Structure 1
């Protein structure tokens, strides 16, 4: 298969990164890659869907992964998977001899192993430069569900219409379910039985990098998990703090221990992100040296500094994110051509064990099985956002009153970086705006 042919299938089928920022997958394909890498590290604690999906559909996913490698001309295809995912590793090993180009790379149970810059170093020994892209090191990274969506597009001519989501924590029956894109978070959580806490809060995504969501929020192509938590849980309360107060707290109680920088995964890979230096400058209003502020561009927002490292429970990640957002709004872009310094020799001793991280965050009791149920959940209506990916929102090609079928394109890719959007249920279009399309089931 030619690269352009595969790109068109991916773009028309609406395939984007099934997690993170949702980068359109077709735009990653290039013949400059000598290595492709599949991320099965479940970057965040409590997330389970990628290992479950890979275990259940190992052959289909490996076959598609191998096809992508052949298409771009990559000499090696690596599956990065934590060695603790024993059953998934066994499923892969049953088929590995059929795909000589593929190798399995076993990873440690540390956070944030799923960060693609960290994963690339662990699996290949290559360091992506600060602000750089993996392809600069000859690598393309995909996650498991993204490759599964490519398989469905190629083999079943089925575009992306549904999403796998894990529902865990304060529910009577933790589960990973398959739901139509555009259904509500409430409808997803209903599949996990009863909520077992009063005044529950939905934490969407992982506990380290997720956000507080509303029950009426629609599921998108990047929705991976919903943690149902008590309103007074540590990670909920941290997320609800205000930056202005966090800055004052930093000025008054930061003990200058430097632990936030010592444990920073990107700093340990030689990137010029120094949370401790930034906190000193920001808390004291010190602008004599602008580098601590400008280097916020290189923060991955993994949250190790804020959620694990700081003994005073300060908020370096939040303040760095605010600074990064402010710089972006002001039109200040990251410096180009910044090269990393050598990887810290002490890096191996500064990794964050996921077991200890969960204990510190009060999540250990929620680390339970969440069996995968692949039965598609039926819902009465969906609200499908036109922007579920990085780049330009898709352009609606239906109008109110139109009858649509599941899988039908309802918004075409816009000019530039964009992918198509498809109906996730059969029914009638009831509303179309420049932001979303609502479909009521028949």
Structure 2
């Protein structure tokens, strides 16, 4: 297929990374991509939807992955998947024989195997430049659900109108469901039966990199999971802490053990990020070495430093995120630096997923969450115009319009952007630059 044609299809059908920041997929189509990688590492604890989807729709996903490889002219297409996902591996092995450029890249059960910089190194041996994009190394990475959405757009004329979401932890029946984009989180959680804790808190996304949400918050194209947790759970309390208090705690008890740096996944790949030095400089207000602060821009915010490494319970990730945001707000960009050679110690400093779940008190929630793709009925959806990196989509409907499921309701904005589509059939009851509400 012609790259321009496929790019247009992906943009018009609203295909973006189905997780993380939601990077528009059409912008990843690049003839420099010698290698493309399908990310089925299922990076975060408790999440299962990618391995479930790949197991069920292996043929469709492999076909679309092959189409992408042909379109960009990639020499190899690697499916990055953990060795533990045996049923999914069996399903993939049954269909990839007819694609000579395709192979499996088997991964250990460690965190954060799904971080694209880590994933690229594990399956290709290439180190992405600190602050650089994978394409600089001739690589493009695609999420499993993203590739399946591309297949649906290309072969079924179905735009992104729904999302797979895992509902886990304090619920009667953990489950992975397909829901219309814009569905309130309360209605998604209801698909998992009764909530089993008083005063539940919704933690949206993975436990390491997610955030606290609300019941009225709408599902977006990047909503992967909802963890229903007790309000006194470690993860919730950690997220609620104030950075000003954390900074004072760090000043009082950071002993410079260097564990945060020693186990930092990006540091172990030679990136110039050293959380321990940041903690010392920030708490002492020492600006003699400004690069210590500037290098926070190379942090991936994986959370290993504050949720696993630090035995004092300090928060390097959160504090660095605050500094990083301040630097960007003042127009400071990450400097162009090269990574140092990867040392042999990296192999012995990976974070085992089982140990991580125990550390953050999630082991008891590590249960099956079966995939159910049955269509669920909702009365009202709130569809955000900015569900992706880049310019928000521009609404093309008005209040009172009748729309059908799959109809474009917002066209791509200027620059990097994608279309947005109705997730239900109904009447538009509210329109503004931020969202469109449709009632069935």
**TM-score (norm. length: structure 1):** 0.99
Shift of 1:330: 1.0
Q: Deviations over 1:134-187 (max 9, x none)?
A: 000100000100000000000001000000000000000000000000010001
Q: How does 1:211-250 map to 2 (within 5 A)?
A: 211-250=211-250
Correspondence for 2:432? 433
Worse-matched range after superposition: 402-411 or 283-292: 283-292
Of stretches 89-98 and 236-245 in structure 1, the one that deviates more from structure 2 is 89-98
| Corresponding position of 2:107 | 107
* Matching residue of 1:382: 381
CA distance in 1, matches of 2:198, 2:54: 35
Q: 1:333 offset after TM fit, Å?
A: 1.0
1:226 deviates by 0.2
Q: Give 5+ residue unaligned stretches, structure 1.
A: none
Q: Tell me, in whole angstroms, the C-alpha distance in 2 between the residues paired with 1:174 and 1:167.
A: 6
Structure 2 counterpart SS, 1:202: strand
> Does the alignment pair 1:251 with 2:285?
no
Structure 1: distance between partners of 2:321 and 2:343: 24
Equivalent-residue separation in structure 2 for 1:311 and 1:363 (angstroms): 18
2:39 corresponds to which residue?
39
What's the CA shift for 1:332? 0.9
Residue by residue, what CA displacement relative to the aligned partner does 1:314-337 show, whole Å, maximum 9, x if unpaired? 0000000000001111111111x2
Equivalent in the alignment of 2:93: 93
CA distance in 2, matches of 1:43, 1:250: 28
- Structure 2 distance, partners of 1:354, 1:88, is 19
- Counterpart CA distance in 1 for 2:374 and 2:32 is 39
Q: Distance in 2 between matches of 1:378 and 1:127?
A: 46
Aligned to 1:145: 145
Alignment match, 2:79: 79
Map 1:400-415 onto structure 2 (within 5 A).
400-415=399-414
How much does 1:38 deviate?
0.3
Following the alignment from structure 2 to structure 1, what is the Cα–Cα distance between the partners of residues 377 and 57?
Answer: 23
SS in structure 2 of the partner of residue 348 of structure 1: helix
Match of 2:359 in 1: 360
Cα distance in 2 for residues equivalent to 1:394 and 1:102: 35
Give the secondary-structure state (helix, strand or coil) at the position aligned to 2:373: strand
Which residue of the partner structure matches residue 307 of structure 1? 307
Q: CA offsets per residue over residues 50-105 of structure 1, 9 Å max, x none?
A: 00000000000000000100000001000000010010000001112111111011
Find the counterpart in structure 1 of residue 11 from structure 2: 11
- Deviation, structure 1 residue 344: 2.1
Paired position in structure 2 for 1:207: 207
In the aligned structure 2, how far is the partner of 1:205 from the partner of 1:262? 26
**Aligned equivalents of 2:404, 2:379: Cα separation in 1:** 14
Alignment of 1:256-335 (within 5 A): 256-335=256-335
Q: Displaced runs of 4+ in structure 1, greater than 6 A? A: none
Shift of 1:345: 1.7
For 1:265, what is the secondary structure of its paired residue?
coil
Give secondary structure in 1 for the equivalent of 2:266.
Answer: helix
In 2, distance between residues paired with 1:196 and 1:62? 39
Which digits, 9 at most, give the CA deviation of each residue in 1:239-272, with x for residues without a partner? 0000000000000011110000000000000000
Structure 2 counterpart SS, 1:126:
coil
Q: Tell me, in whole angstroms, the C-alpha distance in 2 between the residues paired with 1:290 and 1:253.
A: 23
Q: Distance in 1 between matches of 2:256 and 2:24?
A: 41
